[in-house]
């Protein structure tokens, strides 16, 4: 014989209901706190990144300003091979004996102007030849143009940036340049790799 049994649970008391509601509110509060904490971390990272970017920009701006202050003329001087200048007679080609191991300078004509310094915007006439055989690869002496460049700014080969420092305006200086201070292993049009070079440079003036 089967007996049907009906179980009845007492209704949840007010205290129990309140406890359940409290637990649910606590769970929602904890979830909300975790969400807010996540947003806070993201905002902190974004703020830190923004501060870093601002610091980098400020640092770069200060560095650029300091560089401009040290060489005020360099930023105003543009490399140009089309400067107007009267043609001059070509100087004699010089061929050094043996390999060139160090930068050599010789003043062929004295100048009566100020000595060149790094940062000057210089105008010159020049002729360049290969040290080994005297082959001329470039020159503007007999042309109605001059070359303008910022001295010490890396716009020309190191042999020029180093060898022309101290040359007086109006002077003609010969530079004997080892390949390491010229075009190195790369060479260029008309200049084989690892070529020692000879330049004769006449300083026409400096732009203030």
Phi, psi of 190 (to 5 degrees): 80, -5
Are 25 and 116 contained in the same domain? no
- Distance between CA 110 and CA 170 in Å, rounded? 7
Q: How many domains does the chain have?
A: 2
Burial of 173-190, coded b for 16+ CB within 10 Å and e otherwise, reads: bbbbbbbbbbbeeeeeee
One domain for residues 166 and 195: yes
Q: Are 172 and 201 in contact (CB under 8 A)?
A: yes
The per-residue pLDDT for range 28-84, each reduced to its tens digit, is 666 666 665 665 554 554 454 443 333 323 333 343 433 333 444 456 899 999 999
83/34 same-domain check: no
Domain-located, residue 4: no
Same domain, 52 and 108: no
- Reply yes or no on whether the pLDDT at 4 is more than 60: no
Structure tokens at 130: 């290969």
One domain for residues 113 and 41 = no
| pLDDT computed for residue 14 by the predictor | 43
Same domain, 105 and 153: yes
Tens digit of each residue's pLDDT (9 = 90 or more) over 80-115: 999 999 999 999 999 999 889 999 999 999 999 999
Structural domain contains residue 96: yes
Lowest mean per-residue pLDDT among 3-7, 25-29, 108-112: 3-7
pLDDT at res. 197: 98
pLDDT value, residue 75: 60
Domain span at 48: 13-70
DSSP class of 71: S
**DSSP summary character for residue 115:** B
Query: Does residue 128 sit in the same domain as residue 195?
Result: yes
pLDDT confidence band for 132 (50 / 70 / 90): very high
179 part of a folded domain: yes
pTM of the predicted model as reported, rounded to 2 decimal places? 0.65
Q: Are 82 and 145 contacting, i.e. CB atoms less than 8 angstroms apart?
A: yes
* Same domain (yes/no): 37, 78: no
Residue 121: strand pairing partners: 150, 207
State the Cα–Cα distance between residues 74 and 150, nearest whole angstrom.
5
Across the chain, what does the average pLDDT equal? 78
pLDDT in tens, 168-205: 999 999 999 999 999 999 999 899 999 999 999 999 99
User: Are 50 and 110 members of one domain?
Assistant: no
Are the CB atoms for 206 and 123 separated by under 8 Å? Answer: yes
Decide: 179 and 97 in contact? Cβ < 8 Å. no
Residue with tokens 């129990």: 16
């Amino acid at each position: 014989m089967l007996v049907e049994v009906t179980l009845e649970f007492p209704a949840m008391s007010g205290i129990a209901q309140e406890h359940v509601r409290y637990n649910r509110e606590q769970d929602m509060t904890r979830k909300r706190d975790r969400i807010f904490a996540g947003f806070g971390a993201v905002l902190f990272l974004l703020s830190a990144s923004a501060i870093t970017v601002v610091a980098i920009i400020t640092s770069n701006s200060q560095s650029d300003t300091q560089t401009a202050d040290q060489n005020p003329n360099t930023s105003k001087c543009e490399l140009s091979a089309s400067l107007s200048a009267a043609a001059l007679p070509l100087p004699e080609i010089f061929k050094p004996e043996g390999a060139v191991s160090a930068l050599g300078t010789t003043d062929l004509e004295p100048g009566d102007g100020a000595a060149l310094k790094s940062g000057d915007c210089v105008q010159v006439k020049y002729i360049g030849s290969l040290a080994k055989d005297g082959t001329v690869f470039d020159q503007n002496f007999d042309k109605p143009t001059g070359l303008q460049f910022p001295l010490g700014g890396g716009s020309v080969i190191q042999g020029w940036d180093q060898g022309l420092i101290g040359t007086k305006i109006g002077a003609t200086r010969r530079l004997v340049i080892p390949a390491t201070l010229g075009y190195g292993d790369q060479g260029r049009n008309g200049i084989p790799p690892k070529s020692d070079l000879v330049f004769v440079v006449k300083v026409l003036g400096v732009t203030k």
